[in-house]
A = this chain, B = another copy of it.
Amino acid sequence: MSKYDDLREKQIGSEEVFDGVILHLYKDTVELPNGNSATREVIRHVGAVAVVPVTDKGNVIIERQYRYPFDEVITEIPAGKLDSPTEDPLQAAKRELSEETGYSADEWIDMGIYIPTCAYCDEKIYMYLAKGLHRGEQNLDDDEFLHVEELPLPELVDQVMNGQITDGKTQAGILKAARILKI
C-alpha cells in the first residue's frame, strides 16, 4: 500500500489501433480510482538514447536534422532508437554517436532517464554525457540526412534559455551537462 494508491488506474481492455514501424498505438480502457471507466490512447515505443558529446575544448557536437512533423530543421543532440527493447542503452548510445557523427568517446557519464511524453507514450530516452572524444568516420543510413556541427556549451545554454533551441531532450541534456561541467 503506497501513499499514491488512490491515484492508480486498472486496465480493463486494450485494442491495437496501429502497428507501425516506429509507433504502435493502442486504445485501452481503464477503471479510474472513482470506479468510472475512461479511454487511454497509448503509444508503445522501443525506447531511445541521447548523448551530449563534449570535446576537450568544451564544444558540443550537435546535429541539424529535418523533422517532418514540424517541416523544419531542428537542432538536436545525437540520439536514436534502441535496436530492440532489450538492447543495452550504453551500447546503443555508442553506436548512435559513432554512426551519426563519427565520434567515439573514452568517458560515458549516465545522465539518467528522460521521458518525453508520459501522458500518452511509454518511450524512455537514456541520456549520457560523453567526454574524451575521438573523431572517426560518420556512417549514416542511405536514407538518413543530417548536418553535424560543433558549438561551445555556453552558447548552447544561451540558446536553450533564449528559446532558440526547442527540442526537449536537447534542452534537458544541455542544461544537465552544463550543471555537471559547472558552466
What residues make up the interface of A, taking CB atoms closer than 8 Å to B?
A: 2, 4, 6-9, 11, 17-18, 20-23, 25, 27-28, 30, 32-34, 36, 38-44, 64-70, 73-74, 76, 110, 112-125, 142-143, 145-147, 157, 160-163, 166-169, 171-172, 175-176, 179-180
Chain B residues with Cβ under 8 A from A22's Cβ? 41, 119-120
Per CB-CB distance, the 10 closest pairs between chain A and chain B, nearest first, are: A112-B163, A175-B175, A69-B122, A7-B66, A4-B73, A116-B116, A171-B172, A67-B118, A40-B68, A20-B41
A10 → B minimal CB distance (Å): 10
- For A80, the closest partner residue in chain B by CB is B119
Determine the chain B residues whose CB is within 8 A of the CB of A113 once the complex forms: 163, 166
Closest to A8 in B: B66
Does the CB pair B171–A4 fall under 8 Å? no
B176 touches A120 (CB 8 A): no
| Contact A147–B4 (Cβ < 8 Å) | yes
The DSSP consensus for interface residues of chain A is mixed
- Find the residue from A65, A142, A172 having the highest chain B CB count within 10 A: A172
- Beyond known contacts A23-B41, A23-B120, A125-B168: 17 more, CB 8 A cutoff: A9-B66, A9-B68, A21-B41, A22-B41, A22-B119, A23-B43, A28-B68, A36-B142, A42-B69, A43-B69, A67-B119, A69-B118, A112-B162, A113-B163, A117-B123, A160-B176, A175-B179
Q: What are the residues of chain B within 8 A of A121 when measuring CB–CB?
A: 69, 117, 121
For A72, the closest partner residue in chain B by CB is B118
Question: Once the chains bind, are B73 and A7 in contact (CB under 8 Å)?
Answer: yes
Chain B residue nearest in CB terms to A144: B32
A122 and B168 in contact, given A21-B41, A22-B41, A145-B7 (Cβ under 8 angstroms): no
